[in-house]
Amino acid sequence: MVGVGPAGSEIARIEHSLKSLLELARELSVSLGLHQTADLLLFNLMGQLGTGRAALWLIPEGTSATSIMIRCHGFDRTAAQQAGEAWSHTLREHFERNPVPVSIADLESQLSPSHLELAAQIDVALFAPMLAHSEVHGWLALGPKLGGTGYAEADLQILQAALGIVGVALQNARLHGQMTEAHRQLLASNVHLQEIDGLKSEFLRNVNHELRTPLAVVMATLESVVSAKSGEVRIQSMLAGALECAHHLNELLENLLTYSSAVSARLVIELADENVDELLRAYCDERRPGVTAGLREIACSCEPELPAAHCDRQRLIQILDQLLDNALKFTSSGSHLRLSAAALSVSGERWVQVEFADDGPGIPLERLHSIFNSFEQVDGSQTRVVGGMGMGLALARELAERMGCRLDVRSAVARGTTFTLLIPAGR
């Protein structure tokens, strides 16, 4: 323990700050996601500087959009969110000119009366920029120091040092996430292309069946007319030519049918008892870099002692992919996604219930029944902002049904959407 007295106390404070910065650096060297890093930074600074309030906003990559509140501790959450949105552009402009911590008093001339009212409401004392490679990536708000002493010069230096370390770490994490996600997408698109190839064959087979029925009628009619040998020779000759073409067409269709059947046989379902807890956690870890790239958060929680689920692992992952891709398309930055699993018993039958929930815009009731139809999206207008064929959810339900599972959805506008997948429990 360091000696007593004012000098001793000062040395002890410096020692505490150094230890805190070391803690920050040490933890960042361990692999941490965006949201864990935000928690680490905020708790660390709150503990160093002695304040009970801190929040962090980040700017979505490559955009001029409003900043997203990543974490908030101690502040009134709803008010802080509103305030963050209102201040976004002012703070960004300010920090691009002047990238150092600024007190609310020094910002007063740049904030409108309504902005100042919001600041007073959540009791914010200080803002500080999050920089990486001289670019503003976001900012932090701190509440007043407990004891009302105000932030000293030494506090601001600690703050800048901590934000510098974390800013670069977050930027590296983002770049690493982008790379991991790009790699995953390449692998996934390869699998997807193979799937599309399979679907194409199935489509061909269906078309084939549809074509064969009228063709059979055409051939039978032509055969009966040609074999009757009545009418003009010229017409007879033309009909014989038509019959020959019809036979040729039929042969082509037969070949096509054989080919597509062979290909579609690849779309097999291999059922086994799967550990859903382990599968969902691994799945979240794999998809997290891509999800957090859009400043969304994905969390996973499974009930303890979950029974095994009887399903095809690869197909289950495909279903989750479709649900997640759907959520990424239709929710905005800052949204929260949650994968969870629980055991369920209905009329003596045991199921594993996997839920995938988001807090996005939700789906209007009148559209809810048709979202599993092929080629349909909730926004059917020509000016819609989200691309895609509307095949994802149709494919997800098709795969679920092939595995003996049930995929359903419930949703509330402005509150979010939850997909529920019921998988038979294993033995």
Residues paired with 167 in a beta bridge: none
Contact status: 303 vs another protein (CB under 8 A): no
Identify which of 352, 338, 369, 358 has the alpha carbon closest to the alpha carbon of residue 403: 352
Contact residue for another protein among 7, 9, 216, 365 (CB under 8 A): 9
Q: What sign results for the dihedral spanned by CA atoms 142, 144, 147, 151?
A: positive
Q: Which of 50, 150, 364, 380 binds another protein (CB under 8 A)?
A: 50
If DSSP codes are grouped into helix, strand and coil, which group holds residue 16? helix
Applying CB under 8 A, does 144 fall inside the site for another protein? no
Residues 104-143: x/- map of binding to another protein (CB under 8 A)?
---------------------------------------x
Provide, rounded to whole angstroms, the least separation between the CB of residue 392 and another protein. Answer: 33
**Binding flag, residue 20, another protein (CB under 8 A):** yes
Binder to another protein among 33, 61, 76, 202 (CB under 8 A)? 76
Distance CA 331, CA 417 (A): 10
Instruction: Give min distance, CB of 126 to another protein, in A.
Output: 15
CA–CA distance, 286 with 73 (Å, rounded to integer): 28
Query: With contact defined as beta carbons under 8 Å apart, do 360 and 416 qualify?
Result: yes
Nearer to another protein, 48 or 377 (CB): 48
- Tell me how far, at minimum, the Cβ of 173 lies from another protein, in Å: 15
> If you search the block for the tokens 């000098």, which residue do you land on?
7
In sequence order, the 6+-apart residues with CB closer than 8 A to the CB of 93 are none
Q: How far is the CB of 41 from another protein (least distance, A)?
A: 9
Binding flag, residue 154, another protein (CB under 8 A): no
| Residue 13 engages another protein in binding (rule: CB under 8 A) | yes
Burial (CB count <10 Å: 0-12, 13-18, 19+), residue 256 = middle
Stretch that binds another protein, among 20-28, 245-253, 374-382, 407-415 (CB under 8 A): 20-28
Q: Does 288 bind another protein (CB under 8 A)?
A: no
Question: Could you say whether residue 146 binds another protein (CB under 8 A)?
Answer: yes
Number of residues that bind another protein (CB under 8 A): 32
Instruction: Quote the least distance from Cβ 196 to another protein, whole Å.
Output: 42
Nearest residue (CB) to another protein, 60 versus 167: 167
Does 45 participate in binding another protein (rule CB under 8 A)? yes
Q: Which CB sits closer to another protein, 51 or 208?
A: 51
List, as own/partner pairs, every contact residues 23-30 make where C-beta atoms lie below 8 angstroms and the sequence separation is at least 24, other chains included.
24/162, 24/165, 24/166, 25/165, 28/165, 28/166, 28/169
Q: Which of 7, 16, 157, 252 binds another protein (CB under 8 A)?
A: 16
Q: CA dist 304 to 257, 307, 392, 405, Å?
A: 49, 9, 31, 22
Q: Could you say whether residue 150 binds another protein (CB under 8 A)?
A: no
Work out whether 8 is an interface residue with another protein (CB under 8 A): no
Length of the chain: 427
Residue 54 touching another protein (CB under 8 A): yes
Cα–Cα dist 337/335, whole Å = 7
- The answer to whether residue 394 forms part of the interface with another protein (CB under 8 A) is no
**By CB under 8 A, residue 81 contacts another protein:** no
53: left (phi over 0), alpha (psi -120 to 50) or beta: beta
Q: Which of 56, 59, 70, 73 binds another protein (CB under 8 A)?
A: 73
Strands 297-302 and 336-346: parallel
Task: Show contacts of 408-411: CB within 8 Å, 24+ apart.
Answer: 409/363, 409/368, 409/371, 409/372, 410/368, 411/362, 411/363, 411/365, 411/368
Residues making contact with another protein (CB under 8 A):
1, 9, 12-13, 16, 19-20, 23-24, 27, 36, 39-40, 42-48, 50-54, 73-76, 143, 146-147
